[in-house]
Amino acid sequence: MTYQEALKYLDSFIDYEKRPAFNYRDAMKLGRMRALLDGLGNPQRNFRSIHIAGTKGKGSTCAFVYSILKEGGIKAGLYTSPHLIDFKERIRISFPKERNIDEAEIAALVTRIKKFLDNFSMSSKFGPPSFFEVYTALAFLFFSIKKTDIAVVEVGMGGRLDATNTLEPLAAGITPISLDHTDRLGKTVEAIAKEKCGIIKENSVVISAEQEPAVLNCIRKAVADKKAKVYLVGKEIFYEPLTASPEEQTFNVRGLYGEYTLLTTPLLGRHQAANAAAAIGIVESLRAHGITICSHNITGGIRNVNWPGRLQIAARSPWIILDGAQNEASARALRETVNSIFAYKKLYLVFGVSSGKDIKGLARNLFPLADEIFFTRANSPRAVSPEKIRKDFPDYENRSVATFNVGEAVELARRHAGQEDLILVTGSLFVVGEALKYLGRKSLINEKTI
C-alpha cells in the first residue's frame, strides 16, 4: 500500500472533526476503542504515558512536557490534535532525532492493520471506528513499535469518552477548563469539567492548572471518588511572570520539589507561563515512578519547546501573528498578550471560526482591537460563513469585508497593512493552519515560532 492509498483508506472512516454537528455520546464509544486496541494486541500497554485534558492550553502543556522529557534523554512520544497543515504532525517522537511520523511508516502501519480494521468495522457490536479512533490506534501502535519510553498524549475532545482514555497514565494533567464545545460536552463549565475529569484514574496523580471555583470543585470530587492525589498550580505549584518581548518571556516557577528561576520560553503570554508551570509539576510528579529529570533539563525543555500556531510570528514589518484562539478565554489571553507585548499603529484582523464555537465571546475580545476585519473561512464543512459573521455583527460592517478563503484574507490584509502595523490571524486552528500554508508558499515564514 502506498502513502496515498493509506490516506484514501483513512479518509474512508468518519471524521467528526469535520462534522458540523453530531451526537457526542452516540459517536464516542470507549468500548469500541478498547475492543479495537484489544484486537491489535493492546499496544498502549507497551509504553508509559502522560495524559492531558482541558479546554485551553492542553496542547501547549503537552508540548512543554514532551520537550522536557526529550531534554532529559527520555525516548518520548507526542500525540496531539488537530494538526495545522499535515496530519503527520499529530505523531512525533524524540529519538534518535526529533521528527514526525513519516509517509512510509503510515503506509506500513495501515497495510499491517487494514484487514483487521475491515473485519472489525463489519463485525463490531459498537459499529465502525472513527478516523480519530483509528489514528489514535495507529499512534499507540507506532509508539509501541518504536519502543517509546513515555508518550505524552493530548485528549481529543472531552475526556471521559475520548479514544485516548484507554491509557493508564503515570500522571494526568487538567489544563484550564472553560466553555467550549457546549453543543457536545454540556452547557455549563461544571458539565464540561465532569467530562474532562473522566481521565482521572484510581489512585493516580493529577496536576491541575488554575481553575475557576466551580471547576475546581468538580476536580476535587473526581479526585476524591478515585482516591487520587491532586496538585494545583496556585497552591502547591507557583509561577511568577517577569519580562516579555516578541522574542521570549521569562518567569520563575516553584514546583513540587524545586525552584526554577529565570526560565525563558519562546511561547508568549502569561497563560504560557502557567502552562509551563503545570508541565513542570507533571514532570516532577514522575519521581513517584522513579523518573527524575534534573533542573538543567527542565530549564532546557522550557526554553526549546516548539509549538507552532500559538502566538507565532510569521513575519515582521508588518507583524503577522498567528494564534489558534477559539473560545472566549483563549481570545482574552490573546488580546492581553498582543496589547502588552507588541507595538503597532493599526491592527488588521483575519478571523474565521468553526460552528459550535462561542463567536460572541471571541468577538467581544478580538473585534474591538481591529481597525479592519477580514472575515474568512477554512476549507472545512464546520466553517461558519464569513458573510454570516459579518451580518451578525453590524457594528463592524463598515470596517469589515467577507472573503472567499484564508489565502485571500491574508493577502488583502497584507496589502492594507503598513510596515508598522500588525496582522492577527485567529479564531480557529484550521484558519491558522491554512494561513501558515499560504504564507509558506509566499516565502514569508520565519522558522522560529513564538
Domain boundaries, the chain: 3-303, 312-441
- Residues with Cβ within 8 Å of residue 221, at least 6 apart in sequence: none
Q: Which of 97, 90, 55 is nearest to 76 (CA)?
A: 97
Distance CA 47, CA 383 (A): 37
Please state, as a whole number, how many other Cβ atoms lie within 10 Å of the Cβ of residue 71. 22
User: 359-379 burial, b for 16+ CB within 10 Å, e for fewer?
Assistant: bebbbebbbebbebbbbbbbe
Instruction: Please tell me the pTM assigned to this model.
Output: 0.94
Domain covering 312-441: architecture: Alpha-Beta Complex (3.90)
Q: What are phi and psi of 48, to 5 degrees?
A: -85, 165
| Nearest partner of 256 among 225, 278, 223, 289, judged by Cα | 278
Per-residue pLDDT for the chain (450 aa), expressed as one digit of tens each? 999 999 999 999 999 877 766 677 777 889 999 999 999 999 999 999 999 999 999 999 999 999 999 999 999 999 999 999 999 999 999 999 999 999 999 999 999 999 999 999 999 899 999 999 999 999 999 999 999 999 999 999 999 999 999 999 999 999 999 988 777 788 899 999 999 999 999 999 999 999 999 999 999 999 999 999 999 999 999 999 999 999 999 999 999 999 999 999 999 999 999 999 999 999 999 999 999 999 999 999 999 999 999 999 999 999 999 999 999 999 999 999 999 999 999 999 999 999 989 999 999 999 999 999 999 999 999 999 999 999 999 999 999 999 999 999 999 999 999 999 999 999 999 999 999 999 997 644 443 333
Query: The CATH number of 3-303 is which of 2.40.50.140, 3.40.1190.10, 3.40.50.300, 1.10.10.370?
Result: 3.40.1190.10
Distance CA 306, CA 89 (A): 12
